[in-house]
């Protein structure tokens, strides 16, 4: 049944004319696959993610086609979107704090979508909250459930945000720079978690980032956006090994440069300090 996500000729522009933010983008994300969407700030990568989630700000108009499981989303009304958002498409953002109510205990926040989508009540609901927290590899589940967002670390917040996104078993998870604000070791943990969850649930993943190594860590395929246009896409390893577009080549070269620096630094000292 599900054909996954199919974007065709997607153009997004601001009402006040000017250059489109996205221009004639074609992109396929078959069900269960994971796509890394790469681009620098201003490339339109977030616009694309928001268009798929139906969260384009007022004043931006989408044209073309976005189909999720054969359902057309461009031009869909708000009622249609409500059946899609959360249920089929879920989002995690760069700053998890924006997705969490600062005045509500994490357990209650997580209970809300579980209650709404699974009709759980009472003990069963509490059980589901605990399971959901455990599923995102949070220890001390009860303590986290009682905490307010500011009382847990950034990595834990992002895991809770992820648990909320997954509460309704979406078929597509959109992650917009979910690890950019995190420390490297924490980032690694969250990336591994997203990777594992996507596999376990055979969920499609649209992972938006500017870091090609991060994108490659959780994606089968990569797509590169620049100035609103899709300049290249293909299997992750192949795109990294043989970039065709000069811009992609530059991205790869930058990443490789830092990686080489790290590796070279890791050589015995006498070689480095020659």
Beta strands 204-209 and 22-29, pairing class: unpaired
Q: How far is the CB of 21 from other proteins (least distance, A)?
A: 5
Minimum Å distance from CB 253 to other proteins?
A: 8
- The residues, ordered by sequence, that sit 6+ positions from 86 with a Cβ below 8 Å of its Cβ are 113, 117, 168, 170
The nearest distance, CB 202 to other proteins, in angstroms, is 21
- Closer to other proteins at the Cβ: 134 or 237? 237
Q: Which residues contact 251 (CB under 8 A, 6 or more apart)?
A: 38, 212, 224, 243
Q: Distance of alpha carbon 68 from its chain centroid, rounded?
A: 16
Complex with other proteins: residue 145 or 221, whichever CB lies closer: 221
To other proteins, the closest distance from the beta carbon of 17 in angstroms equals 11
Q: Which is nearer to other proteins, 87 or 186 (CB)?
A: 186
- What's the closest the beta carbon of residue 135 comes to other proteins, in angstroms? 22
The CB-of-24 to other proteins minimum distance in angstroms stands at 5
Q: How far is the CB of 123 from other proteins (least distance, A)?
A: 35
Q: Which is nearer to other proteins, 62 or 135 (CB)?
A: 62
Rounded CA gap, 215 and 38, in Å? 7
- Residue among 78 and 123 whose Cβ is closer to other proteins: 78
CB atoms within 10 A of CB 229: 15
Q: Which is nearer to other proteins, 103 or 241 (CB)?
A: 241
Nearer to other proteins, 130 or 234 (CB): 234
Q: Cβ closer to other proteins: 119 or 268?
A: 268
Shortest reach from residue 225's CB to other proteins, in Å: 10
Residue 179 has φ and ψ, to the nearest 5°, of -115, 5
């Amino acid at each position: 049944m599900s054909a996954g996500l199919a974007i065709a000729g997607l153009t997004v522009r601001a009402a006040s004319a000017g250059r489109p933010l996205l221009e004639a983008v074609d992109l396929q994300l078959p069900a269960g696959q994971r796509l890394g969407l790469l681009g620098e700030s201003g490339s339109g990568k977030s616009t694309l993610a928001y268009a798929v989630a139906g969260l384009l700000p007022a004043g931006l108009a989408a044209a073309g086609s976005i189909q999720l499981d054969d359902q057309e989303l461009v031009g869909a009304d708000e009622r249609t979107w409500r059946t899609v958002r959360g249920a089929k498409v879920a989002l995690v953002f760069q700053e998890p704090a924006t997705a969490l109510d600062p005045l509500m205990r994490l357990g209650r926040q997580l209970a809300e979508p579980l209650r709404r989508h699974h009709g759980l009540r009472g003990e069963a609901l509490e059980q589901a909250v605990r399971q959901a927290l455990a599923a995102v590899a949070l220890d001390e589940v009860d303590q986290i459930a009682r905490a307010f967002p500011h009382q847990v670390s950034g990595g834990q917040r992002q895991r809770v945000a992820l648990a909320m996104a997954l509460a309704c078993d979406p078929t597509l998870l959109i992650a917009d720079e979910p690890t950019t604000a995190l420390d490297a070791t924490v980032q690694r943990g969250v990336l591994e978690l997203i990777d594992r969850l996507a596999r376990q649930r055979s969920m499609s993943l649209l992972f938006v980032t500017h870091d090609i190594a991060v994108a490659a860590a959780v994606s089968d395929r990569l797509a590169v956006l620049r100035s609103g246009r899709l300049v290249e896409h293909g299997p992750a390893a192949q795109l990294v090994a043989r970039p065709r577009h000069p811009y992609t080549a530059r991205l790869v070269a930058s990443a490789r440069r830092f990686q080489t620096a790290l590796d070279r630094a890791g050589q015995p000292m006498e070689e480095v300090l020659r």
